[in-house]
Amino acid sequence: MRSDTVKKGAERTAHRALLKATGVTDEDMEKPFIGIANAYNDIVPGHMILDKLTKAVREGICAAGGTPFEFGVIGICDGIAMGHDGMKYALASRELIADTIEAMVEAHRFDGLVVVGACDKIIPGMLMAMLRLNIPSIAVTGGPMLAERVGNRVVTIKTAFEAAGEYKANKISKQELKLYEDYCAAYCGSCQGLYTANSMQLLTETLGLSLPYCSTSPCGSSRKLRLAKISGMRVMELVREEIKPSDFITEESFKNAITMDMLVGGSTNTVLHLPAIAKEAGIKLSLDLFDDISRKTPHIVAIDPASELTIADLDESGGVPMLFKKAKDYFSNEMTVSGKRIYDIAEEAFVRGRDIIAEPSNPLHREGGIAILRGNLAEKGSVVKQAAVREDMLKFEGSAKVYDSEQEALKAILGGEVEEGDVVVIRYMGPKGAPGMPEMLLPTAAISGMGISRVALITDGRFSGATRGPCIGHVAPEAMVGGTIALVEEGDIISIDIPARKLELNVSNDELKDRRERWKPKKREIKGYLSRYAKLVSGADEGAVFI
């Protein structure tokens, strides 16, 4: 066992003494040491229940003959960080999470690992660590938040963000605004819709790194507790059978994950996270692969922000196993951490209530949820959640309104400066530029809430998974490195053609050359971790990984 390095032999007397200081017995020393990376905290709704799940994992490990050791992992709530400088740290925290788990596991020579996490950057960082370490491992994801109703309306956290715009436009009263504040996030769990957090939970299960139904079982449910306990027991089987992630995670596993993303219309942020996770396994995922799979994969379920349905409705419909079953022809039959292959899991799938999953032969959309756009404004690519774009906005041309920060753009939107037919450009928001590639929900939510319908947004930053409409993010190269987005001027005409995968700035090459010669990178004052991050991070087209 790996842990013998810290507990066997006379030369490890002091090591055993330190372990005994934590309550480890002689009998415990003979068992496999299992690390539990626990992202519990009491500021993130998706994390506030993880202490209970970790307790269940510990019980499972102990019941199956292991010795558990729990350690903490940071977790940032994107919603609370949204719209201010704190958002610069959200994506950047992904690398910290992976690195700290690596450090804890390697320093203490754990034989196996269980990661217990939820939400946007935490799950990707944990999966990166699992594949990097390549020891017997399993993931337990915290599960989705349940939704409440206000009147006849199902409300989610997206509703709360959009309510600010509705209030500014005098569409709702102060009392109604307070009602949304009180009921749009009424439970523990990852925010209710198919935003980044729940997208990544679905993809964790699809990759085969968590047990069937783990991703959609609601936070706080007894099923989630049982799955956590079973996961603790399962990691012991993995240790005894010496099964590591590299034994079953393949390039086809990642293609399955991308396929799932397209079937459900998941968050655009998965285009950042899946390549970063794959890189740890020595697998390269290109933007072209995402688009190729999107072109041939139907969109068969619409979940908030594309509808009022939530992840709880998907769970009722059979979750990931039922998606495997209905779209079996689109998946490769890969092995999973459960010991079952995808087709075996599909055979056991069942619907326990309303079925919201369409048949692939009669899809909601012929293509997948995400599209990759290219053109002179995004030579290395950009990303749009086409499943959440209205039919009449798939092709759009408008006049540029240009802002060098989210705060400038939000002030202009709420101040009435943005009008129908505009294309809002928010730049210097990329991995190096912000730095940290902040996620922007406030500007898009404000536009939606104020009832402005024919407006597009383009950024070298990111959009929240709760964003809907023609919102194009991840523009690469970013403004900070001299990408064309840095050269856009007020009033320029921008053309968007999602079916043709085109994003063009209608300015002549000669004019762009002249602007480039006059361009200088934007100066900014950064320090600490963000300063190091900006020096190390790659472009969005490569997953914003360290290079």
**Per-residue pLDDT reduced to its tens digit, 485-508:** 999 999 999 999 999 999 999 999
436, 88 contact by CB (below 8 A): yes
Look at residue 383 in the predicted model and tell me its pLDDT: 96
Following CA atoms 346, 351, 356, 357 in sequence, which dihedral angle do they give, to the nearest 10 degrees? 20
Look at residue 83 in the predicted model and tell me its pLDDT: 84
Average pLDDT over residues 100-116: 98
Report the mean per-residue pLDDT for the chain: 95
In this structure, what are the phi and psi dihedrals at residue 107, rounded to the nearest 5 degrees? Answer: -65, -35
Q: How far apart are CA 426 and CA 420, in angstroms?
A: 17
Q: Is 464 a catalytic residue?
A: yes
Q: How far apart are CA 218 and CA 230, in angstroms?
A: 16
Tokens of 462: 């990111």
Look at residue 380 in the predicted model and tell me its pLDDT: 97
* Helix 442-449 vs helix 406-414: crossing angle, to nearest 10: 10
How many residues are given for the chain?
547
CB burial readout 386-409, b (16+ within 10 A) else e: bbbbeeeebebebebbbbbbbeeb
**Given a cut of 90, is residue 265 above it in pLDDT?**
yes
In this structure, what are the phi and psi dihedrals at residue 62, rounded to the nearest 5 degrees? Answer: -65, -40
- Please identify which of the residues 294, 464, 495, 538 carries the catalytic annotation: 464
91, 178 contact by CB (below 8 A): no
**Given a cut of 70, is residue 466 above it in pLDDT?**
no
Average pLDDT over residues 337-344: 98
**Given a cut of 90, is residue 317 above it in pLDDT?**
yes
- CB-based contacts of 123, cutoff 8 Å, min separation 6: 117, 139, 141, 197, 200, 201, 204
Q: How far apart are CA 124 and CA 207, in angstroms?
A: 12
Specify the 3-state DSSP secondary structure of 533: helix
**Given a cut of 80, is residue 216 above it in pLDDT?**
yes
Q: How far apart are CA 179 and CA 160, in angstroms?
A: 9
**Given a cut of 90, is residue 57 above it in pLDDT?**
yes
Tokens of 337: 């951490």
Q: How far apart are CA 6 and CA 48, in angstroms?
A: 33
> DSSP letters of 129-189?
HHHHH-SSEEEEE--BPPPEEETTEEE-HHHHHHHHHHHHTTSS-HHHHHHHHHHTT-SSS
Q: What angle do CA 252, 273, 521 make, to 5 degrees?
A: 135
**Given a cut of 90, is residue 388 above it in pLDDT?**
no
As a whole number of Å, the CA-based R_g of the chain is 23
Q: How far apart are CA 354 and CA 263, in angstroms?
A: 18
Average pLDDT over residues 360-372: 95
CA proximity to 100, closest of 71, 120, 134, 131: 71
Strand partners, 496: 396, 503
290, 266 contact by CB (below 8 A): no
Count CA within 13 A, CB hemisphere, residue 128. 26
Average pLDDT over residues 233-255: 98
Higher pLDDT, 129 or 440: 129
Average pLDDT over residues 213-241: 97
Following CA atoms 388, 392, 398, 401 in sequence, which dihedral angle do they give, to the nearest 10 degrees? -30
Q: What angle do CA 233, 315, 361 make, to 5 degrees?
A: 120
Q: Pairing mode, if any, of strands 67-72 and 33-38? A: parallel
Average pLDDT over residues 349-369: 96
**Given a cut of 70, is residue 350 above it in pLDDT?**
yes
Q: In whole angstroms, what separates CA 271 from the centre of its chain?
A: 9
Look at residue 464 in the predicted model and tell me its pLDDT: 77
Look at residue 338 in the predicted model and tell me its pLDDT: 98
Average pLDDT over residues 445-449: 80
pLDDT tens-digit series, residues 530-546:
999 999 999 999 999 99
**Given a cut of 70, is residue 189 above it in pLDDT?**
yes
Q: How far apart are CA 473 and CA 374, in angstroms?
A: 12
> What letter represents residue 423's amino acid?
V
